[in-house]
Amino acid sequence: MIEFKEVSTVYEDAFVALHGVSFSVAPGEFVSIVGPAGAGKSTLLRLLTRELTPTDGTVSIDGVDLGGIPDDDVPILRRKVGTVFQDFKLLSNRTAFENVAFALEVVGAPTDKIRDDVPKALEIVGLNEKHGNFPHQLSGGEKQRLAIARALIHRPRIILADEPTGNLDMMNSHDVIQLLLKINKLGTTVLLVTHNREIVNLINRRVLTMETGKIIRDQVENGKYIL
């Protein structure tokens, strides 16, 4: 489903973020990507949303080379991938309902569908009571759960989570991970970038360990956080 072939990424300041990275992810997998800061973990995710294109090599989803997608079609790719970030990236002047609805509006979903689906997604993340709250009226954990609701509302086949527990306490982190596991159980492929040792060990799935732009370890089953 997801395939990185000999991918290298060099930033404008000549920093080499990735160096000949190759790996693939099968549909329905839950992959944790770990490593120290600057190892290239977030760069991997940014390549999958076409925020970046590789300097060398190819990144593909379902056999489609993302580097070959015309700029005008990038939004279509992004609608197929749900993203969750450490800083939540919520629209500050929209309510919880509107934030989730926005992801459906961009795909042109009818109003009836939005009216039906958004409360369900909010219920899954436990925020149905706070549908009218603005992001600044929510706690960190609630904000991240809202971001997850937005990421899963259009039923993407892939969810990319970049340090989703980075700003959360242990209890909220646990809730967020349980949600991601639940989504994965329904068949969605999840790529989770994290620093959190306890979380990775708790998940106990495939773990990719990165260092200085390379994958130094790929534990396909029962992976642990080892640095």
Partner 1 sequence: MGKERFKRVFKAGWTNFRRNTYVTFGTTGVMSLVLILFLGLIAVNFLGSVFVQNLESKVDVRLYLTNEATDTDVRAIQSELQTLNSVKFVDYVSRDQALAEFKERHANDALIQQSLAELPDNPLQAWLNIKATDTSQYASIVGFLEANRLRGVIDKINYYDNEVVIQRIQGIATAVQNWGMILTLALAVIAVLVAFNTIRLTIYNQKQEIEIQRLVGASNWFIRAPYMIEGATYGIFATGIALIVFFAALQFASPKVAVLMPDVSLLGYFAGNAFQIVLLTLFAGIALGVTSSYVAIRRFLSV
90 binds partner 1 (CB under 8 A): yes
- Residue 64 near partner 1 by CB under 8 A: no
Q: Does the footprint of partner 1 cover residue 181 (CB under 8 A)?
A: no
Instruction: Give one DSSP letter per residue of 17-40, joined into a string.
Output: EEEEEEEEE-TT-EEEEE-STTSS
Min CB(148)–partner 1 separation in Å: 13
Are the beta carbons of 184 and 209 closer than 8 angstroms? no
How far apart CA 148 and CA 202 sit, in angstroms, is 20
Q: Which stretch, 32-40, 92-100, 163-171, 175-183, contacts partner 1 (CB under 8 A)? A: 92-100
Among 12, 13, 63, 92, binds partner 1 (CB under 8 A): 92
Token couple for 100? 């989730």
49 residue type, one letter: T
**Contact pattern for partner 1 over residues 125 through 154, marking x by CB under 8 A:** -------------------------x----
Can residue 12 be called a binding residue for partner 1 (CB under 8 A)?
Answer: no
What burial letters (b/e) apply to 193-210, b meaning 16+ CB within 10 Å? bbbbeebbeebebbbbbb
The mark string for 36-55 relative to partner 1 (x by CB under 8 A, - otherwise) is: -------------xxx----
Q: Is 201 in the site for partner 1 (CB under 8 A)?
A: no
Kindly tell me which of 104 and 200 has the beta carbon lying closer to partner 1. 104
Q: Whose Cβ is closer to partner 1: residue 189's or residue 209's?
A: 189
d(CA 121, CA 109): 15
* Binder among 9, 32, 43, 83 for partner 1 (CB under 8 A): 83
Options 12, 13, 14, 110; binder of partner 1; rule CB under 8 A: 110
Separation CA 206–CA 218 (nearest Å): 7
Q: Stretches 5-13, 26-34, 54-62, 86-94: which one binds partner 1 (CB under 8 A)?
A: 86-94
Q: Which residues pair with 61 in a beta bridge?
A: 2, 64
Contact between 159 and 187 (Cβ < 8 Å): no
Bridge-based pairing state of the strands 206-211 and 30-34? parallel
Q: Does 116 bind partner 1 (CB under 8 A)?
A: no
Q: Give the nearest distance from C-beta 93 to partner 1 in angstroms.
A: 4
Q: Which residue has the tokens 């130094």?
A: 216
| Chain Cα centroid distance, residue 144 | 12
